[in-house]
Structure 1
Amino acid sequence: MIFPFSGSYVSTTLAGSHNKSILGRFTYLFIVLQEHCVIESKPDHFLDDLRLHNPWTELKQFAKSIDINDKDPVVHKHTPYIVVLVRLAEKWADAHDGNMPSTRQEKKEFKDLIRAHMLNVDEENYKEAVDSSYKVSVTPGISKYYVSLQKIYQAKAEFDCLALEHHVKEILKQIGRDPDSISRAYIKTFCKNSRKLRICRYRSFKEEFSSPIVSEIQRYFSDEDCSYAMNFYILLRAVDRLAANYSRLPGIFDSEIDEDIPRLKTVAASVLSEMGLNGASLSQDLVTEMCRFGGAEIHPVAAFIGGVASQEVIKLVTKQFVPLGGTFIFNGIDLKSQVLVL
């Protein structure tokens, strides 16, 4: 469900999420769902996994069958860059106790190792090995090596699909369903698209409030980039609690603003303590600003968070794109937003 809060508590059933609290220029939104499956995550940058960091036996054997030190310029230029990477990765690992390049300096040295094996500056296969270890770009008709390499990957994909099919049938038997109720074609499609599938699991509204992840909260509070958003979140929760206690939002009456500021500060300190932040304090300016808003709902902020909420609902309904993974905080003063996993 989506529950919009703006001064008074109003609920509108729409989809599986709990949403926003708007106060002046601050607002937050979060999804409350036990689990959500994303069929098509549509990643911005999708990199094919060629298993270069952990090649299987057939790929290793194929790579070893090709001499990357062959001085024939035609053979050297037409050696698949995947083979170059597999062979040189093995050479690197042998010289580094079985470890692959991890630091920036090591990665630079590994690129230099690849360049050192070039015979000519125009060898596109070696340039591709340097520039992109994950992107396949097969040039038609280059050599028989690419056909063999393609068959190796296809055979591995078929083997993995069969292994998954066997596992699926075992699970179906265990739960009392027909082992053939999920077709092989469906399983093959699943394997083909598995890297774009995502499962999002969320903590419940109750868990977030009653069982905070102290280590994450402390990290956010001490992190310069996240501390402002964390301050807003705590204050918005404190405002909700104060409103429940006094049946009104702080600062709603000008004559009581001076009294509401210390009240809100006290409630916020209580929220901090419950979240495991004993001894921590919030910015006095932010506390004052919260009271100064007087429960106002600024239209541009409401429109913005409404748009974000609508966007997340579409993601949840269509099961496309990855929804927010935590609490979305919008700071309308600096026009900044952050997602905190609480």
Structure 2
Amino acid sequence: MDSKPATPLSEQSDKTKKYDRQLRLWGDHGQALLEAAHVCLCGSSAAMSSQGLGSSGVLGAEVLRSLVLPGIGKVTVLDDALVTQCDLDNNLFVSKDSLGKPRGEQLLQCLLEMNPDVRGSLVEQSTEGILSTQPNFFDGFSVVVAVNMHEKTLLELSECLWRAKVPLVVVRSYGFIGYIRIQVEELTIVESHPENELPDLRLLDPFPALKKYFDSVDLESLSDKDHSHTPYVVIIYKFLQKWIEEHGRPPQNYKEKKMFGLMIRDGMRQKSSGEPEENFEEAIKAINTCLGDCRIPSSLEELFALLPSPITPATPPFWLVLAGLQTFLEENKRLPVTGVVPDMTADSASYIEMQNIYREQAALDSEAVLRHAQDRCQQLSCRTSSLAETRPANGEVKGSGGLVSESQVRLMCRHASHLRVIHGTSVAAEYCGKVNLGGGEVEVSDSDVVWYVLLRAADVFHSEFRCWPGYHDHQVEADIVRLKVCVNRLLSEWGGGSAPVFTVKDDHIHEMCRYGAAQIHSVASYVGGCAAHEIIKLITAQYVPLNNTLIYNAATATSLTLTL
């Protein structure tokens, strides 16, 4: 089918032209969530900088840069430090004229020039001070980012945000090592964007309107022109009926599907040019992707098992819609139709007619799910509107935990096969408990998990000696011994007080001391960009964020994810 002409650039809005590429990734609704978000970046305190504990400016700047450019709504920088010579040495976002000025102010001034759509503010206080005087300060943020924060403050912030149910992203850049940790209690993901998603065409079990359309087409009586412009969905269905008549069931394995493809090829007509019909070629190629059934995926069954029981007025809308979806599946024994039809060779009239059939059924299915969700609201004596009589003009239905809109229901029905829920753990719980890193992987294979151990050991080192291992050149050798003691103590604690479960090589300990908590801009830039991508996933609730720790080794260009 000829594709719809693209809207001329002169007719596109300035925002559409500006954000065209990312709109293709997360759509208008994702962009709207991004523009409504408010992110707080917590930098290292002035006291930390004065003690030579490394600057968070470069890493924080890289995180914000990758949020400002796509159009985050607002950023707040929490930083009481001034620009130092250390910042000038490795931070491209400050200049010599910035020396001695508030670092957050200079950073925001530079970043906001990149995108005038973004608003920014500076709070010239330390994170420690805010936590002690204004513990509710962080409640209104979409995401809080902690950059190069030492352990004591990080744990306090973690507990505060966990109580407030605000996502926390911890980011560190330490020599050639990068670290990202996501703390989120619950994240519901409707659009997970799975790879190789199969089209939902219902050829094995067509709904009545679709079957009526298929049966109305007689391939044998069509003219050559109409025959070569019949959508491949119709072709597969027609030949599938012949196959079932002969074999009693659809083709099951590779051999049978190969034979089915030959059957379709035999029904192909030669065009006047002598070339094969493109729509029949498409049908043969689409056999493997079009013959899937509508069985309920196990991942969805697992989500049903997580439904709150009973549903209360505090239940979030996602779970309410999921409850409505469960009732729909119990009644219909199938998933809602997605209404998405892939592009294919066809004349416009045939394609649009078929597309409308799928879309109308998808609308009916989502309406049924919405009605079931509304029934759950009524069972709770919530204020709801009659779906048929007095539905609000905006399509929203008052449900438990907030408003359930028709657009939200349609979206969940469209992506019902790939809904995801992530239940995370807090950083405070991780640091205060036993960490299981999976046996002797470090000793055997030199896995990058060793850098997680060393980062944690460096935190222990700093808590005792008020500096990072190897920061002072004259005491590197002594710091190597001290850091090794910290490593062994930490591993012994994780092993329940017995001998360490891992043996960290001296080479790794020497390398950690050689880093001296240095900030390398190229490493910070990569880690900051990755962290920003994860933050966007949390804000838009699209794509699946890492769960929950990423270790990046720039020396070997490798990375490792851990669930801690």
Q: TM-score w.r.t. structure 2 length?
A: 0.47
Identical positions, percent: 22
Which of 431, 450, 462 matches 1:231? 450
Which of 134, 137, 150 matches 2:344? 137
Question: CA 1:78–1:32 in structure 2 vs 1: closer, same or farther (change >3 Å)?
Answer: same
Deviates further, 285-294 or 190-199:
190-199
Shift of 1:26: 0.5
Checking the alignment, whether the CA contact within 8 Å between 1:27 and 1:330 is kept in structure 2 is yes
Deviates further, 13-22 or 285-294:
13-22
Per-residue CA deviations over 1:2-26 (Å, capped at 9, x if unaligned) read 2222668666899731312332110
Task: Write the letter of the residue equivalent to 2:364.
Answer: F
Question: CA 1:289–1:109 in structure 2 vs 1: closer, same or farther (change >3 Å)?
Answer: farther
Show the 5 A alignment for 1:137-216.
137=344, 139-141=346-348, 143=350, 146=351, 149-180=354-385, 183=392, 185-186=395-396, 187-194=405-412, 195=414, 200-205=421-426, 206=428, 208=430, 210=433
Q: Aligned partners of 2:440, 2:252: CA distance in 1, in Å? A: 32
Shift of 1:82: 1.0
Task: Write the letter of the residue equivalent to 1:168.
Answer: A
Checking the alignment, whether the CA contact within 8 Å between 1:260 and 1:291 is kept in structure 2 is no
Which of 552, 555, 559 matches 1:330? 552
Shift of 1:169: 0.9
Checking the alignment, whether the CA contact within 8 Å between 1:52 and 1:82 is kept in structure 2 is no
Per-residue CA deviations over 1:261-308 (Å, capped at 9, x if unaligned) read 53255246447647xxx8555555333322332333334333443444
Give yes or no for the alignment of 1:295 onto 2:517.
yes
**Number of aligned pairs?**
328
Checking the alignment, whether the CA contact within 8 Å between 1:115 and 1:130 is kept in structure 2 is yes
Shift of 1:167: 1.1
Q: Aligned partners of 1:77, 1:23: CA distance in 2, in Å? A: 62
Deviates further, 176-185 or 251-260:
176-185
Question: CA 1:152–1:220 in structure 2 vs 1: closer, same or farther (change >3 Å)?
Answer: farther
- 1:55 is aligned to 205
Checking the alignment, whether the CA contact within 8 Å between 1:52 and 1:86 is kept in structure 2 is no
- 2:277 is aligned to 123
Which of 305, 308, 316 matches 2:527? 305
Deviates further, 248-257 or 161-170:
248-257
Checking the alignment, whether the CA contact within 8 Å between 1:20 and 1:30 is kept in structure 2 is yes
- 2:478 is aligned to 256
Which of 157, 163, 169 matches 1:18? 169
Q: Aligned partners of 1:208, 1:118: CA distance in 2, in Å? A: 63
Checking the alignment, whether the CA contact within 8 Å between 1:26 and 1:330 is kept in structure 2 is yes
Q: Match of 1:3, SS?
A: strand
Q: Aligned partners of 2:557, 2:245: CA distance in 1, in Å? A: 47
Checking the alignment, whether the CA contact within 8 Å between 1:16 and 1:33 is kept in structure 2 is yes
Question: CA 1:95–1:227 in structure 2 vs 1: closer, same or farther (change >3 Å)?
Answer: farther
Show the 5 A alignment for 1:78-117.
78-87=229-238, 91=243, 100=252, 114-117=264-267
Q: Match of 1:334, SS?
A: coil
Shift of 1:340: 4.0
Per-residue CA deviations over 1:214-257 (Å, capped at 9, x if unaligned) read 6xx649959x9x97343333332333344445655434431314
Q: Aligned partners of 1:324, 1:4: CA distance in 2, in Å? A: 19
Shift of 1:81: 0.8
Shift of 1:28: 0.7
Q: Aligned partners of 1:331, 1:113: CA distance in 2, in Å? A: 54
Q: Aligned partners of 1:334, 1:247: CA distance in 2, in Å? A: 30
Q: Aligned partners of 1:125, 1:169: CA distance in 2, in Å? A: 43
Gaps of 5+ in 1: none
Q: Aligned partners of 1:96, 1:244: CA distance in 2, in Å? A: 73
Q: Match of 2:546, SS?
A: coil
Checking the alignment, whether the CA contact within 8 Å between 2:181 and 2:550 is kept in structure 1 is yes
Question: CA 1:304–1:115 in structure 2 vs 1: closer, same or farther (change >3 Å)?
Answer: same
Checking the alignment, whether the CA contact within 8 Å between 1:63 and 1:87 is kept in structure 2 is yes
Deviates further, 324-333 or 4-13:
4-13
Q: Match of 2:364, SS?
A: helix
Per-residue CA deviations over 1:21-53 (Å, capped at 9, x if unaligned) read 3321102112212234568x5959796843346
Which of 146, 154, 158 matches 1:3? 146
Question: CA 1:45–1:203 in structure 2 vs 1: closer, same or farther (change >3 Å)?
Answer: closer
Question: CA 1:29–1:111 in structure 2 vs 1: closer, same or farther (change >3 Å)?
Answer: farther
Task: Write the letter of the residue equivalent to 1:180.
Answer: S
Q: Aligned partners of 1:283, 1:114: CA distance in 2, in Å? A: 63
Q: TM-score w.r.t. structure 1 length?
A: 0.71
Task: Write the letter of the residue equivalent to 1:119.
Answer: R
Checking the alignment, whether the CA contact within 8 Å between 1:242 and 1:250 is kept in structure 2 is yes
Gaps of 5+ in 2: 1-143, 290-340, 397-404
Question: CA 1:238–1:174 in structure 2 vs 1: closer, same or farther (change >3 Å)?
Answer: farther
Checking the alignment, whether the CA contact within 8 Å between 2:168 and 2:184 is kept in structure 1 is yes
Q: Aligned partners of 2:558, 2:186: CA distance in 1, in Å? A: 28
Checking the alignment, whether the CA contact within 8 Å between 1:24 and 1:295 is kept in structure 2 is yes
Checking the alignment, whether the CA contact within 8 Å between 1:5 and 1:20 is kept in structure 2 is yes
